């Protein structure tokens, strides 16, 4: 296992800044997600690490090696592309063996390693088939097997699940994490899907405008965003304007205890929809009276539109919902679930 260090990396395309002095360290054996909207720089950064893009400034290190000037095939990385990039005229076995054959590995060793990885990926029965004879999930396993069989020092994944349907995506999330941990791989995983990051990642780096906005463990970044951008990108949230008042905020729906000292002045707070608790009586802490004005049932969860007495609308998620005859309700939220973002959410 090797750590990966990205040091002050910049990349420009004419007047467009793709990366603006990005620095990030991925610990050995860690799965680190690069999250962000299209055009934020995450794929460019992945391709810089892979050796497909040369940075204008900065260094890339894997373990004790500076790989910045190395060719892609010399770096000890393996990249799995969004399109899988499988050879349609080759069998599954030949696709998986391709990188080893290019590296002049002995045939006996190739056969041994290919056979083993096909067993691990549960596609040994399809070794003699052509790619067009496989389902999308099977093709995804072939592409991952081809990356793993080379025993890379760092595995680079670019939206690997985007072509799968919802059921297969959920199934493969756990499979990818298991395989990466079993092989002890250091992984950089590009995605725009926060659910993938929460399910698979050890850490996430949220990017925007060629910069990293926040880094941390997935649940920590989700529950304690430091900016409006991160709060809104990582899922639905309620953003409330207010003014700092000791250990709380005088907000649009009343005084909200945040559990931490808040300097005087204008601030924005973020409260996730699932953080609210619904009741019919006044709560002790952070109570908001109002009415449920709309409910959409989503199976195990209900999405409520809640209108506070002052007219402010909030979104509330209720797990294991029960039928409600009353429209009037009362919300409470734990201070630890209130994130203070600062003025204008910055």
Report which DSSP code applies to 285: S
Q: What is the pLDDT of residue 220?
A: 94
- pLDDT of res. 255: 92
pLDDT tens readout for residues 37-60: 999 999 999 999 999 999 999 999
Q: What are the φ and ψ backbone dihedral angles of 4, each rounded to 5 degrees?
A: -120, 130
CA 32 to chain CA mean position, Å: 8
8 A C-beta contact, residue 45 and residue 210: no
Q: Which residues of 3-18 are buried (b: 16+ CB within 10 A; e: fewer)?
A: bbebbebbbeeeeebb
Q: Bridge-partner residues for 242, per DSSP?
A: 251, 267
Pairing of strands 31-35, 77-80: unpaired
Which pTM value belongs to this model? 0.88
Distance, in Å, from the CA atom of 84 to the CA atom of 134, rounded to the nearest integer, reads 13
pLDDT tens by residue, 221-252: 999 999 999 999 999 999 999 999 888 999 99
> Nearest Cα to 212, choosing from 1, 15, 51, 25?
25
Mean pLDDT in runs of 10 for the chain (346 residues)? 94 95 96 94 96 96 94 89 81 89 86 90 89 86 88 89 79 85 92 88 96 95 94 94 90 92 91 90 78 89 93 94 77 94 69
3-state secondary structure of 172: helix
Query: What structural domains and CATH numbers belong to the chain?
Result: 4-232 (3.40.50.300), 236-345 (2.40.50.140)
Do the Cβ atoms of 130 and 179 come closer than 8 Å? no
């Amino acid at each position: 296992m090797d750590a990966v260090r990205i040091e002050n990396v910049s990349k420009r395309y004419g007047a467009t800044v793709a990366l603006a002095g990005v620095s990030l360290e991925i610990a050995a054996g860690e799965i680190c997600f690069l999250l962000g909207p299209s055009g934020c720089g995450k794929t460019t950064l992945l391709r810089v690490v892979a050796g497909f893009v040369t940075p204008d400034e900065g260094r890339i290190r894997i373990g004790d090696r500076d790989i910045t000037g190395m060719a892609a095939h010399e770096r000890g990385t393996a990249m799995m592309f969004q399109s899988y990039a499988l050879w349609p005229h080759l069998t599954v076995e030949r696709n998986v063996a391709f990188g080893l054959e290019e590296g002049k590995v002995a045939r006996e060793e190739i056969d041994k390693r290919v056979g083993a990885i096909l067993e691990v990926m549960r596609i040994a029965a399809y070794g003699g088939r052509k790619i067009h004879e496989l389902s999308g999930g099977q093709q995804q396993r072939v592409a991952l097997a081809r990356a793993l069989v080379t025993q890379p020092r760092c595995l680079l994944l670019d939206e690997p699940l985007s072509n799968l349907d919802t059921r297969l995506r959920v199934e493969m999330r756990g499979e990818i994490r298991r395989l990466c941990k079993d092989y002890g791989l250091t992984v950089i995983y590009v995605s725009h899907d926060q659910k993938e990051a929460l399910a698979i990642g050890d850490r996430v780096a949220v990017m925007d405008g060629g910069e990293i906005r926040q880094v941390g463990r997935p649940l920590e970044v989700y529950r304690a965003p430091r900016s409006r951008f991160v709060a809104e990108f990582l899922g639905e949230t309620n953003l409330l304007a207010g003014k700092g008042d000791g250990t709380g905020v005088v907000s649009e729906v009343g005084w909200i205890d945040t559990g931490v000292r808040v300097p005087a002045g204008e601030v924005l707070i973020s409260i996730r929809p699932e953080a609210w608790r619904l009741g019919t009586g006044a709560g002790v802490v952070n109570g908001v009276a109002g009415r449920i004005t709309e409910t959409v049932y989503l199976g195990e969860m209900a999405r409520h539109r809640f209108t506070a007495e002052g007219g402010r609308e909030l979104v509330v998620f209720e797990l294991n919902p029960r039928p409600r005859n009353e429209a009037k309700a009362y919300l409470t939220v734990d201070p630890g679930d209130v994130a203070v973002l600062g003025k204008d959410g910055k």
